[in-house]
Chains A and B, each alone.
Chain A
Amino acid sequence: MKPASPHLDFRNVMWLLAAMIFVVAPHLVRLPYWVGVFFLVVVGWRGWNAWAALRHPSGWITAGLTLAATVATWFQYGRIFGREAGVTLLLVMSGLKLLEMRTQREVTLSIYLGFFLVLTNFLFSQSIPLGLYMLVCVWLFVATLVGFNRVGSTPTLVQRLRPAAALLLQSLPLMVAFFILFPRATGPLWALPQDMRAGSTGLSETMTPGNISSLIKSDAVAFRVQFDGDRPAYSKLYWRGPVMTEFDGATWSVGRPSAAGSAYSKREQRTSYTVTLEPHNKTWLFALDVPAVLPSGAYMLNDLEVRDSRPVVERKRYEMSSYLTYRYGEGASPGALRAALRFNEERNPRTIALARQWKSESPDARALLNKAFQFYNRDFTYTLDPPELDRFNPYDDFLFKTRQGFCEHYAGSFALIMRAAGIPARVVTGYQGGEVNPINNELTVRQADAHAWVEIWLPDEGWLRVDPTGAVSPLRVESGVNAALGPIGVIPSLIAADPLGVLSRIRNTWQAMNSQWDQWVVGYDMFKQRQFFSTLGFPSVDWRTLGFWLLAATFVVGGAITLGLLVRDRPPRREAALVAWNRFCAKLAGAGLTRAPGEGPLDFLARVRDARPSLAAEAEEITRRYVEARYGAGATREELRALAQRVRAFRPA
Chain B
Amino acid sequence: MRKKAGLILFPKFFYFLLTVFLLVSLELPPSGLAQEYPTKTIQLIVPFPPGGSTDLTGRFVATYLSKKWGQTISVVNKPGAGGTTGVMFALRSKNDGYTMLMDVISAGTLNPAIEGKLPYKWDEPTLVARTNISPLVFFVKGDSHWRNLREVLEDVKKDPEKFTYGTSGLGGPSTFSIAQLLEAAGIDPTKVARVVLQGGAPTVTNVAGGHVDFASQNLSEVISMIQAKKIKGLAVTTPQRVKQLPDIPTSKEAGYPAYKLVGWNGIAGPANLPDYVIKKWDQGIREIMNDPAFVEDMERIGAPVSYMGPKDWKAVLEEEYKSAMKFAEKLGLRK
Pairing of A with B: no
